Chains A and B, each alone.
Chain A
Amino acid sequence: MDVIANQLFAGLSMASIMLMIALGLAIIYGAMGVINLAHGEFVMLGAYATWALQTYAGLGILPALPLVFVAVGAVGWVIEKVVVQNLYHRPLDTILATWGIGIILQQAVRLGVGAESRFVKGPELLSGNTEIGPLIMSNYRLFVIFFSIAVLWGSWLLMTRTEFGMKLRAIIQNRSISECYGIESKRVYSITFAYGAGLAGIAGALITPLFSTIPTMGTGLVVDAFLVVIVGGLGSLIGAATASVLIGEATALFSMIMNDTLGRIAVLAGIILLIRFRPRGLFPTETRR
């Protein structure tokens, strides 16, 4: 019983990280139909930005979060302006272009910072564990779980309760008529892309104490995030949340019953089966095109 409870917590913790990464991906896909293969590298940039802020400015992870959000968001904004914006009507080329951008970012960090693993210290405030009976929960992982829920909530409010969100939803449903009513779709797209990138940056910052910070860290993470987005239904926030919990818990439980490798295979098999019967994911949404 203890083992199961602890595994469930581990699954939830994994889910919260996947959700943070998948959210930005889901928002960018849902809004623009862009499959952003550089998303993992945005996560990596967030992690390195956090490392740099800690090493050179002595800033802890928590105070670094807003700075990392703005910095990675700015990188995303520039990439959208320079590359992605010219490719909106060529979805296949966007995939190739963002993949290339990912490689460039990865190599730039490898050249600039080095290939060796970097260490980032977790916040003092959140060290230690919370124990409920036999269930032992790391305070930091608990914090990440609640933080990811807060980010989900915040993103949902942004999409449904603000004028910016309303403009974005209008563009998603009918771009040309939205432009006829004063909505600058290019500007809205740039901001949305930057927001998605910023979210990836925050995710990267938060996972620094849990993962090793290396230039290739994004590649593995983005695969999981893509699984979450596909299972959840492309572009759906609620879908991303549900799918990350499902996949996180399934991975944790299968790993306990079998082992990590077999558990991973079982989860992938499960996802393939699910896609066979629900090709548009659990919560399909209307997207452009």
Chain B
Amino acid sequence: MENMQARDLYSFYGKSPVILGVSFDLDPGEFLAVLGRNGVGKTTLLKSIMGLTDRCEGGLAFGSQDILGLSTPQRSKLGIAYIPQGREVIPQFTVRENILMGTFARPDGKRDIPDYLFEMFPILDEFISRRGGDLSGGQQQQLAIARALAMDPKILILDEPTEGIQPNIVKQIEDAIVRLNRERGLGIILVEQNVPFARTASDRFLVLDKGRVVLSGKSEDLTDDVVEKHLTF
């Protein structure tokens, strides 16, 4: 398993830097929560890892490889799975096609959909022929996670996976994320607004403000004082 390492990472949209010198480490199988108020660069940080911003500077390594010079598809083929905010399943594709799309990032070229996806999210099996765009928000989120898992990733990057989702499915999704980390050993980087969940699920956290890391540490240190100071408006 590989670790991920960011060193003094800058990321730009056009000429404006949005991420200003962020560093973090993600050990194999570790769970990192990225916290912060709206508009501080959390989503941009995740996009920078995938190479979706206009330009990046600094260092970003996955395993022994520097990945800043790699294209987005090349990064995905290293085993980095990204589940964006708003899920972004392909609306005209069926559930099966959406999951199959995940396998396109497999470096071995296999096109098998692992069975455990359907044990984890039985609703996807039931709706296998429905179009992605016809599912509810929660079902789409489950589909987006299944799509990411179909590539047999080494780390999962999730951007507010429970945002705007009906409460009964939120729990399912949170449990699934924890299980993937604990049972399947997947490294996880999670952007989350729900601090109690981040505290119980993650090993470590970092708090972003205005594109910089203002605080980081072990998740048990994520006390109410910290939340009060950095995360409330």
Binding site for B on A (CB under 8 A): 163, 166-167, 169-170, 173-174, 176-185, 286
A176 touches B101 (CB 8 A): no
27 inter-chain pairs at a CB distance below 8 angstroms, sorted by A residue, are: A163-B104, A166-B93, A166-B97, A166-B100, A170-B93, A170-B101, A173-B91, A173-B92, A174-B88, A174-B90, A176-B72, A177-B88, A179-B72, A179-B73, A180-B50, A180-B72, A180-B76, A180-B84, A180-B105, A181-B102, A181-B104, A181-B147, A182-B106, A183-B101, A183-B104, A184-B71, A185-B73
- The proximity string for B residues 100-144 relative to A, scoring 1 for CB distances below 8 Å and 0 otherwise, is 111011100000000000000000000000000000000000000
Told that A166-B97, A170-B90, A181-B76 touch, could you supply 17 new A-B pairs with CB distance under 8 A? Answer: A166-B100, A166-B101, A169-B90, A169-B92, A170-B101, A177-B88, A178-B101, A179-B76, A180-B50, A180-B76, A180-B82, A182-B73, A182-B76, A182-B77, A182-B151, A184-B71, A286-B92
Chain A facing B: main interface SS: helix
**Which bucket holds chain B's interface residue count?**
20 to 34
Whole-angstrom distance between the alpha carbons of A181 and B105 in the complex? 5
Closest to B106 in A: A182
Q: A181 and B71: CB pair below 8 A?
A: no
CA–CA, A150 to B190, complex, Å?
Answer: 50
Complex Cα–Cα for A167 and B147 (A): 14
In the complex, chain A residues whose CB is within 8 Å of the CB of B84: 177, 180
B interface residues (Cβ-Cβ under 8 A, vs A): 50, 52, 71-73, 76-77, 81-82, 84, 88, 90-93, 97, 100-102, 104-106, 147, 151
Contacts A174-B88, A179-B72, A181-B104 given; indicate if A169 touches B77 (C-beta within 8 A).
Answer: no
Nearest Cβ distance between residue B56 and chain A, in whole angstroms? 15
Give Cα distance in the complex from A181 to B52, angstroms.
13
Give the residues in chain A near B100, CB-CB below 8 Å: 166
Task: Specify which chain B residues have a CB less than 8 angstroms from the CB of A163 in the assembled complex.
Answer: 104
7 nearest CB pairs, A to B: A182-B105, A179-B72, A182-B104, A177-B88, A180-B82, A181-B105, A182-B76
